[in-house]
Homo-oligomer: A and B are copies of this chain.
Amino acid sequence: MGSFKGHALPGSFFLIAGLWWAGKYSLWYATRRNKSLGSTSTRLASRSTQRRLEVIEGSVTLFFSVVGMLAEQFVADGPRLHLYDYSEHHWDRLHNWQHSTMYLFFGLAGAMSLIVHTTTDAAPLALDRLMLAIAFFIEGFLFLYHLHGRAMLDVHVHQLLLFCVFGEAMVSFLEVFHRGNVLLELLRASLTILQGSWFWQIGFVLYSPSGAEWDQKDHNNMMFITMCYCWHLVFSLLMVAALYCTISCVVRSRLKRTPPMEMGLLKPREREQESEDEIL
């Protein structure tokens, strides 16, 4: 990438993905907990609605992954599917190829999610999380061997990125076994927002649009950046919390208009359902 845009673009994608996930899982959790309250809830949380959302998500992921792969190949200085420059005997624009590979895995994850949720029982349900875990793992894996010979600060900001990327891979893998655990889902959303906003931060630090350059060898800069990463995490946690609260309130206020039947009786039991496997 090596440009401000090249970091802002994937950053925006991850930001949107994280917000989308935070909203989606908050909505499902809220409707699941208030299932007893009326027909609106049942309608919102109905299987067919959920499946439709999942299918849309899968399609959008797949679409943008393909666009990303094509863009990396055919932009002005892209390799245009040439991998090896035979005249000069060296590999051709490996960075673009690496980014294409990352998009490829996210595309696979999207396609797999599409297959799992459009067919009735072709594949095990947890496959979408497993492919997502693999996609995040490969993203981190490629970044890990991406940093040779760069300046200290450059290496450091990308290493910090690895924490949230491998964190997302681990959380997605845990979801294979603990599907429907809202905490893991919201944690994944937070880490995705963190990744997105950190991409923006990398853009500002390494290719500042204002032209100001950071001293890449100053240890104080590294210490500040590390702390800054934590602030991004606070920001992403607060974003997810705000979304969660808004959606919970909206769902509850909508449902209150319908008669609140056995609300009191059901609460204690609902408490324990919070890590139930969500059957789509």
Contact = CB atoms under 8 A, between A and B. Distances in A.
Contacts of A134: 233, 237
A248 interface: yes
Contacts of A141: 163, 226, 230
A231 B101 contact: yes
Interface in A205-264: 219-224, 226-227, 230-231, 233-234, 237, 244-245, 248
B267 A91 contact: no
B267 A220 contact: no
B183 A105 contact: no
A264 to B, nearest CB: 10
Given A149-B219, A178-B177, A187-B130, A101 B227 contact: yes
Contacts of A277: 272
B267 A226 contact: no
A121 B230 contact: no
Interface string A141-155: 110011011000000
A125 interface: yes
Given A183-B130, A227-B98, A272-B277, A91 B220 contact: yes
B248 A122 contact: yes
A245 to B, nearest CB: 8
Interface in A191-216: none
Given A121-B270, A124-B182, A267-B121, A108 B234 contact: yes
Contact of A94 (B104, B146, B163, B224): B224
A138 interface: yes
A158 interface: no
Contact of A183 (B98, B176, B267, B275): B176
Q: Which 8 A-B pairs have the closest CB atoms?
A: A145-B226, A124-B274, A91-B220, A94-B223, A91-B224, A101-B230, A98-B227, A101-B227
Interface of A: 29, 33, 90-91, 94, 97-98, 101, 104-105, 108, 120-127, 130, 134, 138, 141-142, 145-146, 148-149, 163, 176-178, 182-183, 187, 219-224, 226-227, 230-231, 233-234, 237, 244-245, 248, 267-268, 270-272, 274-275, 277, 279
